Every structure is written in structure tokens, then in C-alpha cells.
Amino acid sequence: MINVGVIGVGAIGRDHVRRLTHVLAGVRVSAVTDVDLDRAGAVAGGVGAGVARTGAELIADPGVDAVVVTSWGATHAEYVLAAIAAGKPVFCEKPLAATSADCSAILDAEVGAGRRFVQVGFMRRYDPAYRSLRSTVAGGSLGAPLLMHAAHRNMSLPAHFTGDMLITDSAVHEFDLARWLFSDEIAAVTALTPRRNRRASDDFPDPLVLLVEMAGGILVDVEILANARFGYDIRGEVVCEDGTVALSESAGVVVKRSGSYAGPVPTDWRERFAEAFDAEFRSWLDTVAAGAQPTGPSAWDGYAAAVCTDAGLTALHSRARAEVTLRERPDLYKPA
Ligand SMILES: NC(=O)c1ccc[n+]([C@@H]2O[C@H](COP(=O)([O-])OP(=O)(O)OC[C@H]3O[C@@H](n4cnc5c(N)ncnc54)[C@H](O)[C@@H]3O)[C@@H](O)[C@H]2O)c1
């Protein structure tokens, strides 16, 4: 039985506690913490876990074998570094850290320890549809990939969501996806702001279009739409020399009636990526159980996404093309 400690039990933290308790086998949540200790107590009480007063206390607890970090992004680096120092596997929701410098410090810590401890929560890599998209492109039957059209449409976003968060919280998934789909780094990002949605406030860039240039020349256009209203709609189509491959409409049923047909659209990320979240945790826990290094998105992937995010913000604020410059990739993160 793997004992997991969870730091930060807000929306996604609670969902992961549910997953670790009711969906996955061979694991239990043994400790929980949150700056809101009442919230931590309520969640811990529901699953028979203990409450730690701080993240540091939870990480040091000998009853915690592995750590899940689901607190606010700005707090991630501190906990990830502490878990590495304690020699414990750590699953960190995106972002790995709030700045690329902090991500870089995490790379240094793992390189210093001589092994990987960190998996970053880029769960789309575990989504069955994205996996087929990737294997179809990699299979080569469609010829070389040239372009990708992607869309990230939210029904609506909470009031605290800023324009910058369209890059740091939404587009960050698209950056990671593009790097993983094409096994290539991103070279530059340009941001375009079309006619503003009447539902968006004056300084909120909704919609936002990002042009993402891959180092090998593939161009990815990403539509970010904050107020789609009809549902949570994630789209992706790769255009290759001899054909295209796209995510299909949601996997549910289609109803034909009175001369039209219709199917369900997910309402949010929890629903759309439920299977992917389960699979990413299954994969992470398998490596924890085996005492092996994680095989999922690494600290390098978290770092690269952070540098792309910085470029995206520069592009949005300057309206100029922003180049992505990564540090040299340490051997620890080079493909075997
Ligand atoms: N993979 C995804 O698609 C996905 C989806 C949602 C959220 N996230 C990420 O998960 C993280 C949490 O997001 P959320 O939506 O659950 O936010 P949230 O605000 O609902 O929950 C965060 C929780 O962390 C607690 N917290 C904040 N600072 C803390 C600290 N220093 N120590 C302990 N607890 C602390 C808060 O009190 C709160 O309960 C964010 O980094 C977010 O980007 C990822």
C-alpha cells in the first residue's frame, strides 16, 4: 500500500484525493494539508487521513511515501524542492513552479540527486484520443506533419481569472501538448487578439490566438476562447502531407431526431479528462510502487512549458513575436 500525502485540497486536490481513495488500487491518502486547516480537516476526515499543519511537516512525515502538490502555483516550487531533498516521489500539478528560474532550480536539484523524483500534471498526454493522434502522426502513414489547429474553449471562467492566466493556465497545456505530440521544442510564440467577445471585460483578451512555431518548422495555431458558453471544447487537428488526423467529437452517443443530430459536450476539464487523470496517476503510482523514476512529464517538461509561458506573456504584452530560449537539457532528461 502506497501512502500519499496531498498538499492543497481545493478543486483539483479534492478530485485527486477522491481518485486516490476510490478509483485507484494499492494506494491510500495518509495525510492532507492546506493553508485552510478546516478544509484540510474536512477532507482528511472523509478518507481517514491525518492532517499535517504545513506542507513541510507533511513531506517530512515518515507515514508519507509520496507527495501530491495541488496548492496554488506560486507555492509549488517550495514543496517540490522539499520532496526532492527528502528523497520522496512528487506529483506536482501544473505549473511546476511560478517562474522558469524556479523550474530551473528544480532541474538542478534533481540533477544533483542524480535521479528524477518529479512528475508534472500534464494529464492530456494520457488522454486516449490525444494518444491516438500522436501515434497516428508518429506512424508516418500521413506523411510529415506540417500544421496543427488547436482550440481550448471554456464554458466561462471564474472572475479571478486574468488575461495572463489564459497563457499560464490554459495555453500551458497546449504548449506541453505540442512539444509532446511532435517530440520537438517550441521556438517562438506570437499572440493575436481578434475582435473581443462582448462577454469579456475591456482588458481581457478573449478570444486569444497564439501562433506557436516548433523548432522543426511545424506551425501550431491555438484558439483560446474563455466564454464559449456551450461547453468545454478541446480541439486538435494535425495537417500532414498526405492527410489529416483530428480529435473526434466527444465519445458519448449521438442522437438523430427531426432532421438533425446532436451529442454531448463536456462541461469542464474534470469531465473531459477524467480518464486521462486516472491514467496519469496509475502510471505515476506504478513507478512509485516499483521505486523507479517517473516516466510521465518530467521537470524538464515543466521547465520548458514555463519558458514557453514566459514567451507567451511577452508576446501578449508586446504584440511582438517572442522567441523561446531553453537552457541546455541535462543528460538526466535526454530520451534514452
Ligand atoms: N491539470 C489540470 O488541468 C488542472 C486543472 C485545475 C487546476 N490545476 C492546477 O492545480 C493547482 C490547484 O488548482 P485548484 O483549481 O485546485 O485551486 P484551488 O484554489 O481550488 O485550490 C488550491 C488549494 O491550495 C490551498 N493552498 C494554497 N496555498 C497553499 C500552501 N502554501 N500550502 C497548502 N495549501 C495551500 C488553498 O487553500 C486551496 O485549498 C493549480 O496549480 C492549478 O493550475 C491543474
Tell me the per-residue pLDDT of 223-247, one tens digit each, with 9 for 90 and over: 999 999 999 999 999 999 999 999 9
**pLDDT at residue number 228:** 95
Residue 94 Cα to ligand 1 midpoint, Å, equals 9
**Do residues 96 and 120 touch, judged by C-beta distance below 8 A?**
yes
Pick the closest to residue 205 from 214, 216, 217, 197 (CA basis).
Answer: 197
Angstrom distance (rounded) from CA 52 to CA 286? 25
**Residue 249 pLDDT class (50, 70, 90 cuts):** confident
pLDDT of residue 78: 98
Using most ligand atoms within 8 A of CB, pick from 12, 14, 170 the residue to mutate for ligand 1: 12
Q: How far apart are CA 132 and CA 291, in angstroms?
A: 29
How far is the CA of 73 from the CAs of 47, 169, 302, 331, in angstroms?
25, 10, 12, 27
Residue 69 banded pLDDT, cuts 50, 70, 90: very high
Please tell us whether the domain made up of 2-123+275-298 is placed in CATH 3.30.70.360: no
Residues whose CB falls within 8 Å of the CB of residue 160, separated by 6 or more in sequence, listed in order: none
Using an 8 Å Cβ cutoff, are 51 and 43 in contact? no
User: Rounded to an integer, what distance in angstroms lies between the CA atom of residue 231 and that of residue 234?
Assistant: 10
Taken in order 72, 74, 77, 78, the sign of the CA dihedral is negative
pLDDT band at 279 (very low <50, low <70, confident <90, very high): very high
How high is the pLDDT of residue 37? 97
Query: Is 142 or 158 the better-scoring residue by pLDDT?
Result: 142
Q: How far apart are CA 232 and CA 248, in angstroms?
A: 14
List the alpha helices (DSSP H) in the chain. 11-18, 37-47, 55-60, 76-85, 100-113, 128-139, 165, 172-182, 269-272, 274-289, 299-318
User: In whole numbers, what is the pLDDT of the chain averaged over residues?
Assistant: 96
Residues of the chain with CATH 3.30.360.10: 125-268+304-323
Average pLDDT of the residues in 210-220 = 98
84 exposure class (CB count in 10 Å sphere: 0-12, 13-18, 19+): buried
How many angstroms separate the alpha carbon of residue 169 from the centre of ligand 1?
11
Pairing of β 208-214 and β 186-192: antiparallel
For ligand 1, mutation pick of 16, 79, 93 (most atoms within 8 Å of CB): 93
Q: Is 11 in the pocket of ligand 1 (CB under 6 A)?
A: yes
For the chain, residues classed under CATH 3.40.50.720 are: 2-123+275-298
One CATH from 3.30.360.10, 3.40.50.10330, 3.30.390.50, 3.30.1490.20 for 125-268+304-323: 3.30.360.10
> Which of 233, 124, 223, 133 is closest to 177 using CA atoms?
124
